Amino acid sequence: MKKLTKIATLVLSVCFAGQIAFAAGFGLYEFSARGNAMGGAVLAGEAEPASLALNPALITQLPGKQVQLSATLVTAKIEDVEYGSAKTDTDREWWPLPALYYTQQLGEKWWLGLGAFTRFGLSNTYSDKGWMLPETGTHSLYHVGVVTYTVQPTVAYQATDKLSVAAGLEVQYLNFTEKVNFGNVAHLDLDGDSVSWSGMLAFFYNANEKVNFGGSFRMRNDHSVRGPVNYEESTLPSSFVKAGDFWGDITFPAQLALGASYKPTDKWLFEFNWTNIFWSCFRSIDIYFDNVPGGGATPGMMGTAQGNMKEYQDAYRIGIGAEYTLNDKTKLRGSFIFDKSPINDRFMDVMLPADDRYIVGLGAGFDLGKNVLLDLSYNILFVQGLDGVAADQTTPVDYKSSISHLMGISVRYTF
């Protein structure tokens, strides 16, 4: 007979190839080097194949067939995560964020596109595997990560000389991993996956020679994760067996993005982007275990329903970018971003030890000839600290400020 035990997990989130979360909440917006350097304010200005990720209606500006390969390298470390009387930090690690895009014009009015990228990310590995959470005194989470792959086929249509629209289907694969030290006796290793799909709509409007507008709406993603529970240690309490599965549901938020561009001269382009992320759907996380015996020390590992409460709040992101055409071969770029965190300071945990972000970006674009364009970017991300209480409304939690670095490169080729 199967035994079901409901537990509150300390973490569940999304990333690509194990990336740490470096956007507020755990959203990712690093889709191309040009987009990085422009602070994500690329919904209404010049198009690139990577526009598929933010505003695919822009691809109606791209003639012929184009392909773009992008990668952003991220390094981050979070110091001094305090949970009650316990204190720890995360390891410094490096993560690549790859993306691939293809666009093709079909006649005068229609375009097709295919993009592979990610929109969320979180991975934390704590330096001290033995640190204990004060409310249980028996267990500690020392690693969490999820791998997501988004593939998005898209169709765009130029309705008039001024208006273009687009629609895309997002197919998302998710792989969730978590490692927990249970009572300094066993290391539990969870590894599960899921596939979900959703859609997006977008528009681009050319008001006049100097001003453009653009926007997109992404629907939310609903995942049901399932996988085995493994044990890294051979010595286990008598109530445990080396078998069992887990599963759980999670909803990723819908997103509305609006942008405007202004080109006062042939040399200058300015863009503004506002994005609202509907994080209020992220209320709690419930994971269920099947065939994992209860009794004995098990309740201490599993915690209480308070532990899974997140109560996230809707958040927003503002980006301002500028591009200067130095000559026929070179463009210079700069940006500033404010990224509001959705974390509720009355329901804090060790899942995502960070608050609001301030991001400064620089970059350049180069025409290498023979239909090849190269873009480079560098961003420095200032993560603000936060203090509050855990879901039990008693245990104090404190995150310190930290800094992350992002380096991007994109290569684009027109057939």
Q: What is the rounded CA–CA span in Å between residue 334 and residue 191?
A: 40
Does residue 145 carry a pLDDT above 70? Answer: yes
Mean pLDDT over residues 298-319, rounded?
63
Q: What is the pLDDT of residues 27-52, one digit of tens each?
A: 789 999 999 999 999 999 999 999 99
Q: What pLDDT does 20 receive? A: 41
pLDDT at 386: 83
Q: Is 265 exposed, middle or buried (0-12, 13-18, 19+ CB in 10 A)?
A: exposed
Tokens of 235: 């010595």
Q: Which residues contact 327 (CB under 8 A, 6 or more apart)?
A: none
Residue pair 413/69 in contact (Cβ under 8 Å)? The answer is no
SS3 72: strand
For residue 182, what are the β-bridge partners? 139, 186
pTM of the model: 0.85
pLDDT for the residue numbered 148: 79
Rg of the chain in Å (alpha carbons): 23
Domain total of the chain: 1
Range of the domain at 246: 4-296+305-414
Nearest-angstrom CA–CA distance, 103 and 81: 44
CATH number of the domain encompassing residue 242: 2.40.160.60
Average pLDDT over residues 338-353: 80
